[in-house]
Structure 1
């Protein structure tokens, strides 16, 4: 049965979470340079902090950011212990692929910003219908700012409705793509694809030949979103701290038909939950995964 003929239980990927001791500054940087809007600003409840495995963050502030149409895709949390990380240094969430209208023009505007353009915009080896520029953010997070010009079968991908639209592919750095993929296949209730391809920005940052291939996996999610898993060597273990989410990309949230059996369910009234049941689990590479029932 093809993806289009079956219901996908997982997705869309909705919100990435970053933590910073200077969260208000980080919010301003995303709003000023990546055209985000502040959709909500709240105090983190003890229940939400506990769900994330970080009870020490209760009472801190967080901001929910989204595009000009009001679609949220980024949450920034005040976290005194979080420090930027070196990209590609540890297992877990590696980068965020964000839908944009014009990666070339956007890259030009970032030249004197806190977002470092790592490579010029270019078409992907996978398809000339996908063009992206790779950027390093202030927390050590990688951003792939990507335009989808047309359909790219067998993938179901969205096209931008504004200059900087929303997160549509979180990318995981994994020690073992097959083991990492298994959990997401179980959540989505269908199988992913595995293949090898070059990832130029990875090769550049790791000092490898630019044409070197890497084992990858992708899994189609609902609402024209995906998850990508890049298998890399020499990755440190993702840390867990009661009082900090840590630097880099701390967590990615997904909608799901039903929380996994045995997961501890929570109900939070604030955005982005609005009373829906949610839980936090951990993937094969220690990545923090938040699941929110539709």
Structure 2
């Protein structure tokens, strides 16, 4: 079993209305390997505080690189009130990919909708991002990395679609969310950026030059959570009773020692088998913005 550093993003879970259609996209288009498919175990759903999701069709995929990151899909009815990038919680999963400018053609005919074409960001030449929405309106960034940044090491893709290397969080208070990750999980807020954030401005109908502040929460030079300040119009995410939140639903993070995590567990951590866990202890909690965070003990 490979060593996994503290803070590593071990997985992102998205909710989709039709698992077979989503698998055609994640397997056939993103070229991820299907590791497991079957009903969501009752005890796992309960550990997430989502007992009504028990038994739902679900699948686990992994990049062909073999990097320790698992993409999970859970089938669940759409929620009519969900609109991406307007509610608190997980807003997007950023993946490192090869050949970003080839992705618009690859995505033709798939269930993915392009919401941001590949483009260079002013003053940031380390990577080129693009953004897509899946069939569950989950946001996925496809980022080609070319170099590191001053305080951040960015992973180069080792397969056409590789690991999730940043998860984006929308929060009512950037300062409080950063403090939560620092005090509860031993992670470190590092750089803060202010920029006109097209995804947020478009979602809220704000002028294109509206500035958003965001802070990177890291473990050393490894990026983990991008914490975005959302506008005053943002609201908690509507969800079906007892089910997972719609869209980008849950993030799994590696922790050196679960007993050192100062969190309120939804259920006490227990060892789990199967993909992602591989016998490790895991437990889930809610972050400051109400986001579901599954913590996996890696020693």
TM-score by length of 1: 0.89
Q: Comparing 87-96 with 242-251, which one deviates more in the overlay?
A: 242-251
* CA distance in 2 between partners of 1:285 and 1:67 (Å): 29
* CA apart distance, 1:80: 4.4
Is the aligned partner of 1:46 residue 2:50?
no
Asked whether 1:136 is paired with 2:133, we answer: yes
Task: Indicate whether 1:274 and 2:274 are aligned.
Answer: no
Report what 1:167 is aligned to: 164
Which stretch shifts more, 191-200 or 93-102? Answer: 191-200
- Match of 2:74? 77
Give the one of 195, 213, 218 matched to 1:215.
Answer: 213
Q: How does 1:198-213 map to 2 (within 5 A)?
A: 198-213=196-211
Counterpart residue number, 1:3? none
**Partners in 1 of 2:257 and 2:239 — Cα distance?**
26
> SS at the partner of 2:148?
coil
Say which of 12, 31, 35 aligns to 2:8.
12
- CA offsets per residue over residues 23-73 of structure 1, 9 Å max, x none? 222122211221111012243222211101012222333211111123343
Output the aligned Cα RMSD.
2.3
1:223 deviates by 8.3
User: Aligned partners of 1:223, 1:192: CA distance in 2, in Å?
Assistant: 9
Shift of 1:119: 2.5
Long gaps (5+) in structure 2: none
Give the deviation of 1:246 after TM superposition: 3.0
Q: Tell me what 1:96 maps to.
A: 93
For structure 1, the 5+ residue unaligned runs are: 1-7
223 and 139 in structure 1: CA distance in 2 versus 1, 3 angstrom threshold: farther
Specify whether residues 222 and 70 from structure 1 end up closer, same or farther in structure 2 by C-alpha distance, changes over 3 A only.
farther
Query: Could you tell me how far apart the structure 2 residues matched to 1:240 and 1:201 are?
Result: 22
| Matched residue, 1:250 | 249
What is the CA–CA distance in structure 2 between the aligned matches of 1:30 and 1:226, rounded to whole Å? 22
Query: In the alignment, what sits opposite 2:193?
Result: 195
Does residue 144 of structure 2 align to residue 152 of structure 1?
Answer: no
Instruction: String of CA shifts for 1:201-253, please: whole Å, max 9, x gaps.
Output: 32233333333220111112378342101111111213465531131111011
Q: How many residues align?
A: 287
**Are residues 1:237 and 2:236 paired?**
yes
Structure 2 partner of 1:5 = none
In structure 2, C-alpha distance between the alignment counterparts of 1:131 and 1:191, rounded to whole Å: 23
2:64 aligned with 1:68, yes or no? Answer: yes
Deviation above 6 Å: which 4+ runs of structure 1?
A: none
**1:14, CA displacement in angstroms?**
1.6
Q: 8 Å contact 2:187–2:219 — kept in the other structure?
A: no
* Residues 1:222 and 1:137: Cα distance change in structure 2 (over 3 Å): farther
CA contact (8 A) 1:12 1:222 kept: no
State the distance in 1 between where 2:178 and 2:187 align. Answer: 12
